[in-house]
Structure 1
Amino acid sequence: QIAIMTLTLFPIRLLFAAFMMLLAWPFAFVASLGSDGKEPEQPLALWRKVVDLLLKAIMRTMWFAGGFHRVAVKGRQALPTEATILTLAPHSSYFDAIPVTMTMSSIVMKAESRDIPIWGTLIKYIRPVFVSRSDQDSRRKTVEEIKRRAQSNGKWPQVRSLTSVVNGVCAVPFFSGAFIPGVPVQPVVLRYPNKLDTITWTWQGPRALEILWLTLCQFHNQVEIEFLPVYHPSEEEKRNPALYASNVRRVMAEALGVSITDYTFEDCQLALAEGQLRLPSDTCLLEFARLVRGLGLKPEKLEKDLDKYAENTKLKKGEKIDLLEFAAYLEVPVSDTLEGMFSLFDESGSGKMDLREYVVALSVVCRPSKTLDTIQLAFKMYASPDDGCISEEDLSCILKTALGVAELPVTDLFSAIDEDRKGRISFADFTRFADMYPNFAEEYLYPDQTRFESCTQTPSAPTPNGLCTDFSPESTD
Structure 2
Amino acid sequence: MDQDGFTMWIQLLVSQIAIMTLTLFPIRLFFAAFMMLLAWPFAFIAVMGRTEKDLEKPMTWWAKFLDLSLKAIMRTMWFAGGFHWVTVKGQQALPAEAPILTLAPHSSYFDAIPVTMTMASIVMKAESKDIPVWGTLINFIRPVFVSRSDQDSRKKTVEEIRRRAHSNGMWPQVMIFPEGTCTNRSCLITFKPGAFIPGVPVQPVVLRYPNKMDTITWTWQGPGALEILWLSLCQFHNYVEIEFLPIYTPSEEEKQNPALYANNVRRVMARALGVSVTDYTFEDCQLALAEGQLRLPSDTSLLEFARLVRSLGLKPEKLEKELDKFSESARQKKGEKIGLKAFAEYLNLPVTDKLEDLFALFDEDEEGAIDLREYVIALSVVCRPSKTLDTIQLAFKMYQTENSQTIVEEDLAVILKTGLGVSELNVTDLFRAIDEEDKGKITYDDFDRFAERNPHFAADYIYPDQIDSGTCLDSPSAIAPNGFCTDFTPEDMEDLLTQASKKKLN
TM-score surpassing 0.5? yes
Change (3 A) 1:255 1:25: same
Match among 84, 98, 101 for residue 113 of structure 2: 98
**Aligned counterparts of 1:63 and 1:101: Cα–Cα separation in 2:** 10
State the shift of 1:139 in Å. Answer: 0.8
**Aligned counterparts of 1:41 and 1:434: Cα–Cα separation in 2:** 60
The answer to whether residue 427 in structure 2 is matched with residue 406 in structure 1 is: no
Count, aligned residues: 469
Question: Within 5 A, what are the aligned runs for 1:109-128?
Answer: 109-128=124-143
Match of 2:242 in 1: 225
Match among 23, 26, 31 for residue 11 of structure 1: 26
**Aligned counterparts of 2:155 and 2:457: Cα–Cα separation in 1:** 47
- Check conservation: 1:60, 1:102, Cα contact below 8 A: yes
Report SS of the residue matched to 1:450.
Answer: coil
TM-score (norm 1): 0.89
- 1:150 maps to a residue whose letter is A
Question: Within 5 A, what are the aligned runs for 1:32-43?
Answer: 32-38=47-53, 40-43=55-58
Question: Within 5 A, what are the aligned runs for 1:413-424?
Answer: 413-414=430-431, 417-418=434-435, 422-424=439-441
State the shift of 1:378 in Å. Answer: 0.8
- Check conservation: 1:392, 1:411, Cα contact below 8 A: yes
Change (3 A) 1:391 1:60: same
- Check conservation: 1:261, 1:467, Cα contact below 8 A: no
**Aligned counterparts of 1:266 and 1:384: Cα–Cα separation in 2:** 35
State the shift of 1:234 in Å. Answer: 1.7
RMSD (Å) for aligned C-alpha atoms: 2.8
Q: Report which stretch shifted further, 110-119 or 455-464.
A: 455-464
Match of 1:475 in 2: none
Q: Which has the higher helix share?
A: 2
- 2:205 maps to a residue whose letter is V
**Aligned counterparts of 1:53 and 1:275: Cα–Cα separation in 2:** 49
Q: Report which stretch shifted further, 200-209 or 37-46.
A: 37-46
Match among 431, 440, 465 for residue 447 of structure 1: 465
Q: Report which stretch shifted further, 370-379 or 221-230.
A: 370-379
Change (3 A) 1:159 1:284: same
The answer to whether residue 264 in structure 2 is matched with residue 264 in structure 1 is: no
- Check conservation: 2:427, 2:461, Cα contact below 8 A: no
Match of 2:84 in 1: 69
Match of 1:157 in 2: 172
Q: Report which stretch shifted further, 121-130 or 334-343.
A: 334-343
Q: Report which stretch shifted further, 402-411 or 294-303.
A: 294-303
- Check conservation: 1:271, 1:286, Cα contact below 8 A: yes
**Aligned counterparts of 1:281 and 1:465: Cα–Cα separation in 2:** 9
CA deviation profile, 1:271-305 (whole Å, cap 9, x unmatched): 34455533333320111122233344443454454
**Aligned counterparts of 2:123 and 2:337: Cα–Cα separation in 1:** 45
Seq. identity, %: 71
Match of 2:401 in 1: 384
- 1:75 maps to a residue whose letter is G
**Aligned counterparts of 1:347 and 1:284: Cα–Cα separation in 2:** 13
CA deviation profile, 1:369-420 (whole Å, cap 9, x unmatched): 4443322211100111122122343233222211212333445655665566
CA deviation profile, 1:149-202 (whole Å, cap 9, x unmatched): 111111111110113362011211111011001111111011111122221113
- Check conservation: 2:107, 2:217, Cα contact below 8 A: yes
Question: Within 5 A, what are the aligned runs for 1:83-232?
Answer: 83-164=98-179, 166-232=183-249
**Aligned counterparts of 1:287 and 1:20: Cα–Cα separation in 2:** 48
- Check conservation: 2:183, 2:219, Cα contact below 8 A: no
**Aligned counterparts of 1:425 and 1:102: Cα–Cα separation in 2:** 63
- 1:357 maps to a residue whose letter is E
Q: Report which stretch shifted further, 144-153 or 319-328.
A: 319-328
- 2:468 maps to a residue whose letter is T
CA deviation profile, 1:90-144 (whole Å, cap 9, x unmatched): 2211111111111111111111111111111111111111111111001111111
State the shift of 1:148 in Å. Answer: 0.8
Change (3 A) 1:422 1:65: closer
- Check conservation: 2:327, 2:373, Cα contact below 8 A: yes
**Aligned counterparts of 2:31 and 2:160: Cα–Cα separation in 1:** 36
Change (3 A) 1:330 1:5: same
- Check conservation: 2:186, 2:488, Cα contact below 8 A: no
Report SS of the residue matched to 2:53.
Answer: coil
State the shift of 1:6 in Å. Answer: 2.9
Change (3 A) 1:357 1:25: same
Change (3 A) 1:435 1:105: closer
**Aligned counterparts of 1:124 and 1:392: Cα–Cα separation in 2:** 60
Report SS of the residue matched to 1:206.
Answer: coil
Report SS of the residue matched to 2:219.
Answer: coil
- Check conservation: 1:190, 1:226, Cα contact below 8 A: yes
State the shift of 1:265 in Å. Answer: 3.7
- Check conservation: 2:102, 2:177, Cα contact below 8 A: yes
CA deviation profile, 1:201-249 (whole Å, cap 9, x unmatched): 1333322222222222222111100111111112221111111111111
- Check conservation: 1:410, 1:445, Cα contact below 8 A: no
Change (3 A) 1:51 1:8: same
Change (3 A) 1:30 1:315: same
- Check conservation: 2:299, 2:496, Cα contact below 8 A: no
Match of 1:29 in 2: 44
Report SS of the residue matched to 1:224.
Answer: strand
Unpaired runs of 5+ residues, structure 2, are 1-15, 481-486, 498-506
**Aligned counterparts of 2:150 and 2:243: Cα–Cα separation in 1:** 35
**Aligned counterparts of 1:410 and 1:422: Cα–Cα separation in 2:** 16
Q: Report which stretch shifted further, 142-151 or 354-363.
A: 354-363
Match of 1:463 in 2: 491
**Aligned counterparts of 1:271 and 1:41: Cα–Cα separation in 2:** 44
The answer to whether residue 267 in structure 2 is matched with residue 246 in structure 1 is: no
- Check conservation: 1:161, 1:178, Cα contact below 8 A: yes
- 1:242 maps to a residue whose letter is A
The answer to whether residue 390 in structure 2 is matched with residue 373 in structure 1 is: yes
Report SS of the residue matched to 1:130.
Answer: strand
Change (3 A) 1:317 1:87: same
